[in-house]
Chains A and B, each alone.
Chain A
């Protein structure tokens, strides 16, 4: 099986610019998740999709953040008007279905640096 892939792996941008990240889940995985991880911390949940439907969004996901999964396959995470506090690793994960037994598999992450 091909694992979860993310693009780009690294992004450097200036404050105020918009950035977009892409995540391709493991094929046949219905669920796709986005997390954010800052230095020295564990990942924090941002949002997740089941197929095309966005089922939950964290309070961390401000109005400047938007995520889509238009055809139930890949997903994009866009950050508008980036701020220095947005600098973090953005991790994508996918799983077959829901339930507490379902294992999430992570991609390599996109490291964002906002100057």
Chain B
């Protein structure tokens, strides 16, 4: 069964520093997508970045990059130059093959200190 594990319930980072949020996944499917979402205290889920299982290069979107290590089944999110507005919950999610649903991890709460 597919599963997402985020082992860091909470993280602190100094403003302007980089931070890595961990995500490991478990699937027997060869075709899958990995997603990161940000959820501020207001509640909406904001899409950040996507990595496909067949993508050879790590995905990047502005200050966000995804460190994809397929053999280790990890898909860590790297946020560079943290800003106060980055304080939020971050969720890693996976979608297999032609399936519709996303499977989410438990989330990591990131706090950026001034």
Interface centre among B46, B91, B102, B107 (most CB of A within 10 A): B102
Min distance, Cβ A49 to any Cβ of chain B, angstroms: 9
Interface range on chain B (Cβ under 8 Å from partner): 20 to 34
Q: Is B53 close to A, CB under 8 A?
A: yes
Q: How many residue pairs at the A-B interface have CB separations less than 8 Å?
A: 73
The answer to whether B45 touches A100, judged by C-beta atoms less than 8 angstroms apart, is: no
A100 interface neighbour in B33, B42, B91, B105, Cβ under 8 Å: B33
The answer to whether A56 touches B100, judged by C-beta atoms less than 8 angstroms apart, is: yes
The answer to whether A106 touches B45, judged by C-beta atoms less than 8 angstroms apart, is: yes
Q: Is B31 close to A, CB under 8 A?
A: yes
The answer to whether A103 touches B47, judged by C-beta atoms less than 8 angstroms apart, is: yes
Q: Is A108 close to B, CB under 8 A?
A: yes
Q: How far is the CA of A53 from the CA of B95 in the complex (A)?
A: 20
Interface residues of A in 78-115 (CB under 8 A from B): 89, 91, 93, 98-109, 111
Min distance, Cβ B91 to any Cβ of chain A, angstroms: 5
User: Which chain A positions have C-beta within 8 A of B97?
Assistant: 100
- A residues contacting B by CB (< 8 A) are 31, 33, 35, 40-45, 48, 50, 55-56, 58, 89, 91, 93, 98-109, 111
Contacts A33-B102, A105-B47, A108-B43 known; list 18 others, CB within 8 Å: A41-B106, A41-B107, A42-B105, A42-B107, A45-B102, A45-B103, A56-B100, A56-B101, A98-B98, A98-B100, A100-B95, A100-B98, A101-B33, A103-B47, A106-B46, A106-B47, A108-B42, A109-B45
